[in-house]
Amino acid sequence: MYKVAVIGATGLVGSTMLKVLEERNFPISELIPVASEKSVGNTLKFQNKEFKIVSMANAIAQKPNIAIFSAGGNVSAEYAPLFAEVGTTVIDNSSAWRMDPTKKLVVPEVNANVLTKSDKIIANPNCSTIQMVVALKPLHDALKIKRVVVSTYQSVTGTGIKAVNQLMNERSGAAGEMAYKYKIDLNVIPQIDVFMDNGYTKEEMKMVNETKKIMGDDSIKLTATTVRIPVMGGHSESVNIEFENEFEIPQILKLLQNFPGITVEDDIANNIYPMPMNAEGKDDVFVGRIRRDESQSKTLNMWIVSDNLRKGAATNAVQIAEYLAANKLI
């Protein structure tokens, strides 16, 4: 049994983390929920019990075995090392530690084997990267990926509750706070995060850099366009993959069907393919529209969908904790 702190417990991802911990029956002896100062003293329900929200200092003093962070990069950068100093293993959902060469960036189905007992701060990847690398991993192992071109269609839940409220307000004609510069309802915004000097957004470069680190292969070439769309339920991705080796579609289907965490939905005769509304609340990565790219050899097109709050964030973090517990690394 483990003493577990959840940092950012009242946010969209934090509340989903609590839900996933409960659903998966993670062995918790004591839950320590942490949120902003204004929430300290309030209570939340977990496993039919009320738990009082505490301050960061209080949580550190309790020396939890695990601290799962979802409170933003600045908070993680400041407080994750303080938890690590008292022996806590931190699983961080922000971008603060992802590209730190001394920290592991983990998707359990892909590279959990890199984890050791000495890893006290473990990074949870970006949501759009997580679902893509789960689908890429079995194909890369069998066929060796040369290049990936990905375009994403990302849910407003990836921005947070403020963006969800903006969409709902626009749908109902109500005034309210804007999460985006532009209207999101009946619109598509081809910008996620800030633009960088090369003309790409930070989200796009996260996908490029994180994929190479998680897959352990800097030779994979990847280019991304990330887009916010007015949906909830999950992120969708159109992915074009060029391989070193030739393949057959039945081989691709078998590789994907046999890989943990993937559900193949690819029955075009019956109009069955992954969609966010069907992925919502589920932990798998759904893959469909699997077809050869007829414009060049050894190249494949796929459509990948996953619930960004679950596998794209909360579930992946909990799966890391499960791996650590199962392998006695905490």
Residues classed as catalytic: 127, 235
CB 225 within 8 A of CB 297: no
How many Cα atoms within 13 Å fall on the side-chain side of residue 98? 25
Phi, psi of 98 (to 5 degrees): -60, -45
Exposure b/e, 131-146, CB count within 10 A at least 16 = b: bbbbbbbbbbeebebb
Assess contact for 311 and 284: CB atoms under 8 A: yes
Backbone angles phi, psi at 278, to 5 degrees: -90, -20
**Which of 53, 6, 4, 54 is CA-nearest to residue 29?**
4
How far apart CA 271 and CA 156 sit, in angstroms, is: 26
Phi, psi of 248 (to 5 degrees): -120, 150
